[in-house]
């Protein structure tokens, strides 16, 4: 150890010291709380809404952002792994987009830490996601008179790729939690007990803190691998394409999702994933980056056992010793972080789309 | 026949190319240096030293050619737009394109593509290998990317096996896949047309009508000025007055692709906003005198590859001959959007109806039997790892 212990008293003092340091750290964790309001430009968001649900934003015009982030499924897909682009599958669970504008880092592996503008570009262009050449996308948009009008009304002028990457994030800002019992103060007694556990005995708040109930950092909790990623060639091809493009070595032989390692290329980060927000969980099962846990009961049981099996698992995870009743309370609290489903015209484009592209009249003589 | 001094360098290059490509010695000629090379029987296709043929490579390439999984959404392979029963081409004005799109140019046949040194209508690829790759990756063609293509190849055990045998790598590389496809395409040649037989000495191979047509081709029709040598193409770039795609005027989807192509190929903004015809070879040189020029296509296999020209504006060979006969105008009077670069070689020909018929009959002599082929059975995907291997990896975490 290299620490010379000269007496029992000193050892005890050292232990107290460690305890105090830990206590101080715990105290520094930001508390849960209401999400700060975000200002949304209505015209820009309305344009972004139409774009979000428009299948013409994918290479073969078969899927929209909303295909894998479906309002009726909690702005995600209620299956372990996202659909991905037609012709392949995916290797991760689609995260909800409610409160996405409050995040500072995106993707389960945290590979985008700049802006939703970049995130929008990533989702539209990746070959296993929407596989769109954005130059074709731009020209499709310019072919739709409704868009020409909406871009103008939004103050963007002529439609362009850059403006799409601004309008969609503006719309995403409008997707925020609404009327969650936690925010309205109408929590059940069980949920209130659960909140105490959350902040105390269960230790959830160590990572799930702040208004989003997420610290935006990466941890290895030992979630088991989803073998369907590797046993289904459709999913595996998306994984291989991703890992190859990201420059992860030995990508053909990987039998696990490298997670945050993708960002740092530091082996200690293998299997770490960004702490997800706990808001809107009620609608977003299954859980974890690979959808391996089907219910919130499963999730709480998983943590109660001290997480999964991984030699690089975070030292924060230890068996919690929660009783059945305590686990129930904890689930009740987690559910209190979910509000109204955002499934009305306020958030969902209901204006439809033209069945085909209108031809520009007098094409030979008009300026594009 | 008119000698065209301005084209001498191109013609000389074409002569040299034809000799190297076909192994044919230029025919003895009493004509002058500036005369175009004579029509000639087609020799074996040139095989690049860095991509030699082998039965295994050809078999691998054939499967890949017919495999839609190379396309972005696994629906669009080479054969999707180059259909054997549509002349290894696509029987519409412009090619069908990737789902959700339409292309902007007429699809060219694969038959005898092996002989070109410039692929695509504007000559943007210099080899079959690079042509196949560009087409597979283009947004309005295959819309595939390296990552997903290599991943899919790796998940097809038969391809892993064939690739290893042919190229030696543990996992298939996308570029090698296109080398295999090119090797397969080099087997899609036709060298036994009536014209080949005639030129090799079988004087019965052409009808009297066709023999008369040949004279017109080489004389009054002036066709041989560009359609010469064994390939019946000098691979030069010309604006002969072909009008743009009519569909651009009334088809929204086609208008999208038109603008995309102009934008993606790097036109200046004013050009993007105003140009309404395909600038063609301009995109190779960015010289305004190349606007609207396209590489001379071969006339071989033309019987099966209608419609004709880079914009697919002519449905029959008769229409094509009529177009040339009036000096480069379609029946409805339409012509190139770049009249300023139109070749001085294109002038009204004054052919009679009989002469036009003879000429069409002769052009048909560039085609032999139709080359048909069934798609091979395609090998399935299979997982790379077993469940036991994954479980062991899980345990070892």
Decide if B385 and A138 are in contact by the 8 Å CB cutoff.
no
Q: Does B55-185 match B5-23+32-45+191-364 at the fold level?
A: yes
pLDDT at B215: 98
DSSP E strand boundaries for A218-295: 218-219, 273-274
Can you tell me whether residue A279 is helix, strand or coil? Answer: coil
pLDDT, tens digit (0-9, with 9 covering 90-100), for A75-103: 999 999 999 999 999 999 999 999 999 99
Which residues from chain B sit within 8 angstroms of residue A239, using beta carbons? 151
d(C-alpha A267, C-alpha A22), whole Å: 26
Q: B266-298: b or e for each residue (b if 16 or more CB lie within 10 Å)?
A: ebeeebeeebebbbbbbbbeeeeebbbbbbbbb
- A267 reaches B (C-beta below 8 A): no
Distance of CA B278 to the CA centre of its chain: 17
> What pTM was computed for the model?
0.91
Closest approach of B82 to chain A, Cα-based (Å)? 19
Which residues from chain A sit within 8 angstroms of residue B144, using beta carbons? 127
d(C-alpha B133, C-alpha A33), whole Å: 54
Q: Report how far apart, in Å, the C-alpha atoms of B253 and of each of A141, A179, B74, B337 are.
A: 11, 44, 22, 20
Alpha helices in B205-351 (DSSP H): 208-218, 252-264, 269-274, 282-285, 317-325
Instruction: Work out the pLDDT band at A20, boundaries 50, 70, 90.
Output: very low
d(C-alpha B363, C-alpha B297), whole Å: 13
Instruction: Work out the pLDDT band at B89, boundaries 50, 70, 90.
Output: very high
Asked whether the predicted pLDDT for residue A172 surpasses 50, the reply is yes
The CATH number of the domain covering residues in B5-23+32-45+191-364? 1.10.760.10
Decide if A367 and B139 are in contact by the 8 Å CB cutoff.
no
Asked whether the predicted pLDDT for residue A245 surpasses 90, the reply is yes
- What average pLDDT score do residues A28-42 get? 96
pLDDT, tens digit (0-9, with 9 covering 90-100), for A102-124: 999 999 999 999 999 999 999 99
Closest approach of B115 to chain A, Cα-based (Å)? 32
Asked whether the predicted pLDDT for residue B329 surpasses 80, the reply is yes
Average pLDDT value over all residues in chain B: 93
B77 secondary structure, DSSP code: -
CB atoms within 10 A of CB B190: 19
Write the DSSP assignment of B81-137 as a string of letters. HSBGGGTSB-SSSS---STT---SSPPPPSTTGGG-SSBSTT--BSSHHHHHHHHHH
pLDDT, tens digit (0-9, with 9 covering 90-100), for A227-241: 999 999 999 999 999
Decide if A62 and B73 are in contact by the 8 Å CB cutoff.
yes
- Domain B55-185, classified CATH 1.10.760.10, yes or no: yes
- A145 reaches B (C-beta below 8 A): no
pLDDT at B34: 72
Decide if A236 and B155 are in contact by the 8 Å CB cutoff.
yes
pLDDT at B8: 39
Instruction: Work out the pLDDT band at A28, boundaries 50, 70, 90.
Output: confident
- ipTM comes to 0.91
Q: Which residues are CB-neighbours of A34 under 8 A, at least 6 positions away?
A: A183, A211
d(C-alpha A341, C-alpha A283), whole Å: 8
Range in A259-263, A289-293, B25-29, B182-186 with the lowest mean pLDDT: B25-29
Among the partner residues A60, A138, A240, nearest to B73 by beta-carbon distance: A60
Asked whether the predicted pLDDT for residue B22 surpasses 80, the reply is no
pLDDT at B31: 52
Asked whether the predicted pLDDT for residue A6 surpasses 80, the reply is no
Can you tell me whether residue A212 is helix, strand or coil? Answer: coil
Minimum CA–CA partner of B277 in chain A? A364
Give the percent of chain B with pLDDT over 90.
Answer: 91
Closest approach of B75 to chain A, Cα-based (Å)? 7
pLDDT, tens digit (0-9, with 9 covering 90-100), for B125-171: 999 999 999 999 999 999 999 999 999 999 999 999 999 999 999 99
- What average pLDDT score do residues B290-314 get? 98
Closest approach of B137 to chain A, Cα-based (Å)? 10
Closest approach of A191 to chain B, Cα-based (Å)? 35
Cis previous bond, A263, omega within 30: no
Q: Which residues are CB-neighbours of B35 under 8 A, at least 6 positions away?
A: B1, B3, B29
Asked whether the predicted pLDDT for residue B6 surpasses 50, the reply is no
What is the set of domains in chain A, with CATH numbers?
42-172 (1.10.760.10)
Residue in B73, B76, B144 to test binding to A, most A beta-carbons within 10 Å: B73
Contacts by residues A71-74 (CB-CB < 8 Å, ≥ 24 positions apart): A71/A341, A71/A342, A71/A343, A71/A347, A71/A348, A72/A341, A72/A343, A73/A283, A73/A284, A74/A98, A74/A280, A74/A282, A74/A283, A74/A284, A74/A341
d(C-alpha A260, C-alpha A112), whole Å: 11
Q: Which residues are CB-neighbours of A24 under 8 A, at least 6 positions away?
A: none
Structure tokens at B113: 């593509």
Which residues from chain A sit within 8 angstroms of residue B252, using beta carbons? 143, 356-360
Decide if A136 and B382 are in contact by the 8 Å CB cutoff.
no
Residues 86-145 on B with a CB inside 8 Å of A are 98-101, 139-140, 143-145
pLDDT at B35: 87
pLDDT, tens digit (0-9, with 9 covering 90-100), for A300-357: 999 999 999 999 999 999 999 999 999 999 999 999 999 999 999 999 999 999 999 9
Give the percent of chain B with pLDDT over 70.
Answer: 92
Structural contact between residues A108 and A95, judged by C-beta atoms closer than 8 angstroms: yes
pLDDT at B345: 97
Domain boundaries, chain B: 5-23+32-45+191-364, 55-185
């Amino acid at each position: 150890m290299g620490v010379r212990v000269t007496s029992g008293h000193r050892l005890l003092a050292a232990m107290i010291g460690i305890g105090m340091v830990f206590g101080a750290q715990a105290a520094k964790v930001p508390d849960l709380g209401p999400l700060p309001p975000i200002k949304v430009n209505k015209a820009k968001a309305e344009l972004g809404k139409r774009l979000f649900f428009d299948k013409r934003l994918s290479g073969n015009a078969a899927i929209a952002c909303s295909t894998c982030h479906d309002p009726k499924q909690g702005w995600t897909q209620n299956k372990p792994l996202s659909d991905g682009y037609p012709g392949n599958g995916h290797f991760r669970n689609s995260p909800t987009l409610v409160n996405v504008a409050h995040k500072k880092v995106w993707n389960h592996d945290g590979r985008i830490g700049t802006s939703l503008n970049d995130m929008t570009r990533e989702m539209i262009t990746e070959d296993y996601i929407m596989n769109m050449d954005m130059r074709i996308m731009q020209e499709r948009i310019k072919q739709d008179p409704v868009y020409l009008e909406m871009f103008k009304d939004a103050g963007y002028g002529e439609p362009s790729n850059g403006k799409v990457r601004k309008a969609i994030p503006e719309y995403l800002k409008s997707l925020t939690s609404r009327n969650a019992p936690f925010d309205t103060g109408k929590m059940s007694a069980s949920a209130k007990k659960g909140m105490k556990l959350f902040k105390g005995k269960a230790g959830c708040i160590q990572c799930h803190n702040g208004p989003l109930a997420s610290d935006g950092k990466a941890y290895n909790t030992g979630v088991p691998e989803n073998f369907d990623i590797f046993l289904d060639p459709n999913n595996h091809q998306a994984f291989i394409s991703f890992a190859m493009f990201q420059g992860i070595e030995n990508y053909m032989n990987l039998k696990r999702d490298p997670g945050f390692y993708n960002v740092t290329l530091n082996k200690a980060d293998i299997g770490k994933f960004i702490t997800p927000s706990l808001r809107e969980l009620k609608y977003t099962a299954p859980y974890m980056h690979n959808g391996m846990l089907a219910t919130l009961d499963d999730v709480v049981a998983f943590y109660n056992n001290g997480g999964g099996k991984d030699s690089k698992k975070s030292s924060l995870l230890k068996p919690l010793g929660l009783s059945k009743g305590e686990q129930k309370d904890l689930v009740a609290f987690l559910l209190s972080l979910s509000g109204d489903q955002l499934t009305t015209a306020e958030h969902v484009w209901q204006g439809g789309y033209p069945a085909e592209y209108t031809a520009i009249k007098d094409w030979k003589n008009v300026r594009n | 026949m008119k000698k065209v001094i301005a084209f001498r360098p191109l013609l000389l290059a074409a002569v040299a190319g034809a000799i190297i490509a076909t192994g044919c010695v230029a025919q003895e000629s009493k004509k002058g240096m500036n005369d175009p090379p004579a029509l000639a029987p087609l020799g074996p296709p040139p095989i690049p030293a860095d991509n030699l043929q082998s039965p295994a490579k050809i078999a691998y390439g054939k499967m890949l050619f017919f495999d839609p999984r190379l396309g972005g959404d696994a629906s669009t392979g080479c054969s999707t737009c180059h259909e054997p029963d549509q002349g290894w081409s696509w029987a519409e004005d412009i090619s069908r394109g990737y789902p959700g799109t339409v292309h902007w140019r007429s699809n060219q046949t694969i038959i005898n593509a092996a002989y070109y040194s410039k692929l695509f209508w504007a000559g943007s690829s210099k080899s079959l290998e690079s042509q196949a790759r560009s087409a597979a990756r283009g947004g309005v063609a295959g819309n595939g990317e390296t990552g997903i293509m290599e991943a899919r190849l790796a998940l097809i055990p038969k391809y892993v096996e064939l690739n290893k045998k042919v190229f030696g790598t543990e996992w298939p590389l996308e570029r090698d896949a296109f080398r295999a496809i090119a090797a397969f395409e080099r087997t899609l040649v036709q060298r036994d047309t009536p014209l080949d037989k005639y030129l090799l000495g079988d004087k019965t191979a052409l009808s009297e009508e066709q023999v008369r047509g040949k004279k017109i081709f080489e004389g009054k029709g002036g066709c041989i000025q560009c359609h010469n040598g064994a390939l019946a193409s000098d691979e030069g770039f010309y604006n002969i007055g072909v009008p743009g795609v009519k569909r651009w005027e009334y088809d929204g989807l086609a208008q999208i692709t038109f603008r995309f192509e102009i934008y993606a190929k790097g036109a200046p903004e004013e050009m993007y906003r105003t140009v309404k015809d395909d600038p063609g070879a301009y995109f190779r040189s960015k010289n305004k005198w190349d606007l609207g020029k396209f590489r001379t296509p071969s006339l071989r296999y033309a019987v099966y590859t209608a419609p004709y020209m880079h914009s697919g504006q002519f449905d029959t060979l008769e229409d094509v001959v009529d177009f040339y006969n009036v000096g480069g105008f379609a029946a409805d009077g339409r012509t190139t959007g770049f009249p300023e670069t139109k070749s001085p070689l294109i002038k009204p020909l004054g052919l009679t109806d009989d002469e036009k018929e003879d000429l069409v009959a002769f052009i048909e002599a560039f085609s032999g039997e139709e080359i048909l082929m069934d798609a091979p059975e395609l090998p399935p995907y299979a997982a790379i790892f077993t469940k036991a291997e994954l479980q062991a990896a899980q345990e070892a975490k």
